[in-house]
A and B are shown apart, each in its own frame.
Chain A
């Protein structure tokens, strides 16, 4: 069982029930479970949405879109049924936080879906987990079955006139399915190829009905907002970035782990104090602040608050909360290559800039790393990345291009050091085939 890691600066809001056996429905109820949704039955839908707006909660899936605002885009009247879709695909490298929620507090996801349903007038929700998370799907399915059994789901929930159904869905291995429109395609039994927008899901989404798609952490946070109060929640974070979030610290750290910290928490402190600093007396070389798709930061750029706006100002993104720390021994060409291999593998192949671009980038970076690259390869990488940006149907193309461009820009000298005809000058060539994925 994976646990949240502790540190004196941790503020347990989402994680307040972690490690307390709250996957059990009685335990969840003892720990103030299903009280927030009961409060919401007494509220007008607009009042619920306003509370979420007041909380300053922004999407934890990557883009940081204000949750309350997203909910307000759903039309009041709709000929087609409305849906709530929870995104638990969690596949952005460096990200491993939603799984703790599914494991330790599955009912908070259900309660969040119910509140979202009341707010927008939906009667059905889907909780989609990546297929690899089979043990969590089982936990989630049991929680849903228990909620049905208690009358918290089904017909006339909590003795009210409201009906609500929830289905837990398994994915089957595809990063791109985490993209919201591809997620809907997958749930409709198709290949995970995105849809053109507009129309946006809030207007025409799943089965053509208005659909709210939120990350699992975003949804699980909602009941806590009603538990502690929207203003109080907002006050834990920074301006326009309410509350706390789960940060996944990984890579070269003494104490990697998932920590719940206030929005705006200083990145340098996160690395050196919370994460215990770099092991073996090594120096920090770089930080990928929000999952593999976010541009790399240099050590002199990390004295910033970890909220969406401050990280954007520093030229990167807060993304999914996956902070990946690299010490001085890492070859940035190799790191860039491993990153692009992932995007090349996961590209759905629909648009040419992404399908071909990721492949060209992989080939150029492979030449640099293995030997045989020529001068113009470096500019070529930048040229390809620049031409992918903003020219694709979904943001996966950007997610591949942005970090690659940043690696070249910030570590150009290292890339040039690879032009010796022999490949990587830092690491002896591995005696086995490099990553074949």
Chain B
């Protein structure tokens, strides 16, 4: 276990990780949650995250990287403060998902997997997020926004902008 003074995580997260590895029959089961929660705090899965997680679980950094590259929520580069994920899968496509993606792209002036120069927003086209009956749907970080139109999407973006300037 990482000694407290060497961890890159906040004391709360480090404590959570100390407990997480004890929950399962094998320590390695904590790997996927640990990486995602680390990303939530640090912003992305940095080399330092990989190193500490590998050490906590007792596997090689290569083992960790192999897992990171598989999961689409895991990223090795920072994104915007608000990561706008637009679903264009079938149910959303039928109700304007592509148009919504295009609209976000125009509004934010960025494309798929790009970040605004001020670092506030990033945009990503994503696969079904499980909101098909309330399509089209967008997830900003972990928050769902559903039954959207280009107009209501603008309001959503404005809300985040206002939140950031508070």
Q: Are B133 and A132 in contact (CB under 8 A)?
A: no
CA distance A39 to B105 in the complex (A): 56
CA distance A26 to B160 in the complex (A): 36
CA distance A169 to B35 in the complex (A): 12
CA distance A187 to B23 in the complex (A): 12
Task: Tell me, rounded to whole Å, the shortest Cβ–Cβ distance linking B12 to chain A.
Answer: 15
Given A96-B130, A251-B95, is A188 in contact with B29 using a C-beta cutoff of 8 Å? yes
Residues of B within 8 A of A (CB): 23-26, 28-33, 35-36, 57, 66-67, 70-74, 88-91, 93-95, 98, 102, 105, 111-112, 125-135, 139, 142-144, 146
Q: Are A207 and B98 in contact (CB under 8 A)?
A: no
Q: Are B112 and A92 in contact (CB under 8 A)?
A: no
Q: Which residues from A are CB-within-8-Å of B66? A: 191
Task: Tell me, rounded to whole Å, the shortest Cβ–Cβ distance linking A198 to chain B.
Answer: 22
Q: Which residues from A are CB-within-8-Å of B29? A: 169, 187-189
Q: A2-B133, A95-B130 are in contact. List 8 more A-B contacts (CB 8 A).
A: A2-B146, A135-B142, A169-B33, A189-B57, A250-B132, A335-B93, A339-B90, A435-B93
A256 within 8 A of B: yes
A192 within 8 A of B: yes
CA distance A133 to B137 in the complex (A): 14
Q: Are B94 and A251 in contact (CB under 8 A)?
A: yes
Q: Which of A70-78, A223-231, A322-330, A387-395 faces chain B?
A: A322-330
Q: Are B28 and A99 in contact (CB under 8 A)?
A: no
CA distance A437 to B90 in the complex (A): 13
Q: Which residues from A are CB-within-8-Å of B94? A: 250-252, 324-326, 330
Closest to A346 in B: B127
Instruction: List 7 A-B pairs, minimum CB-CB distance, nearest first.
Output: A189-B31, A173-B73, A189-B28, A173-B72, A172-B71, A250-B91, A134-B142
Q: Which residues from A are CB-within-8-Å of B67? A: 189-191
Choose from A93, A130, A131, A346 the contact partner of B90 (Cβ within 8 Å): A93
Chain B contact residues: over half helix, strand or loop, or mixed? mixed
Given A131-B36, A250-B135, is A93 in contact with B70 using a C-beta cutoff of 8 Å? no
Task: Tell me, rounded to whole Å, the shortest Cβ–Cβ distance linking A96 to chain B.
Answer: 5
CA distance A93 to B87 in the complex (A): 10
Q: Are B134 and A96 in contact (CB under 8 A)?
A: yes
Closest to A138 in B: B142
A 352-394 to B, binary, CB cutoff 8 A, 1 in contact else 0: 0000000000000000000000000000000000000000000
Task: Tell me, rounded to whole Å, the shortest Cβ–Cβ distance linking B109 to chain A.
Answer: 13
Choose from A124, A186, A325, A342 the contact partner of B128 (Cβ within 8 Å): A342
Q: Which residues from B are CB-within-8-Å of A134? A: 142
A 419-437 to B, binary, CB cutoff 8 A, 1 in contact else 0: 0000000000010111111
Q: Are A130 and B130 in contact (CB under 8 A)?
A: yes
Give the residue among A96, A188, A322 with the most B Cβ atoms within 10 A.
Answer: A96
Closest to B88 in A: A435
A288 within 8 A of B: yes
Q: Are A167 and B125 in contact (CB under 8 A)?
A: no
Q: Are A324 and B98 in contact (CB under 8 A)?
A: no
Task: Tell me, rounded to whole Å, the shortest Cβ–Cβ distance linking A330 to chain B.
Answer: 7
A91 within 8 A of B: yes
Q: Which residues from B are CB-within-8-Å of A174? A: 70-72
Q: Are B133 and A249 in contact (CB under 8 A)?
A: yes
CA distance A250 to B133 in the complex (A): 5
Q: Which residues from A are CB-within-8-Å of B112? A: 433, 436
Q: Which residues from A are CB-within-8-Å of B70? A: 174, 191-192, 348
Q: Which residues from B are CB-within-8-Å of A288? A: 90
A-B contact pairs, 18 of them (CB 8 A): A96-B134, A130-B130, A131-B36, A134-B142, A170-B36, A173-B74, A187-B29, A189-B28, A190-B67, A250-B133, A251-B90, A252-B95, A256-B135, A335-B93, A342-B90, A430-B98, A435-B88, A435-B93
Task: Tell me, rounded to whole Å, the shortest Cβ–Cβ distance linking B22 to chain A.
Answer: 11
Given A174-B71, A189-B57, A250-B133, is A94 in contact with B90 using a C-beta cutoff of 8 Å? yes
| Interface members, chain A 63-111 (any B CB < 8 Å) | 81, 90-96, 98-99
Q: Are A175 and B88 in contact (CB under 8 A)?
A: no
Q: Which residues from A are CB-within-8-Å of B146? A: 2
Task: Tell me, rounded to whole Å, the shortest Cβ–Cβ distance linking B71 to chain A.
Answer: 4
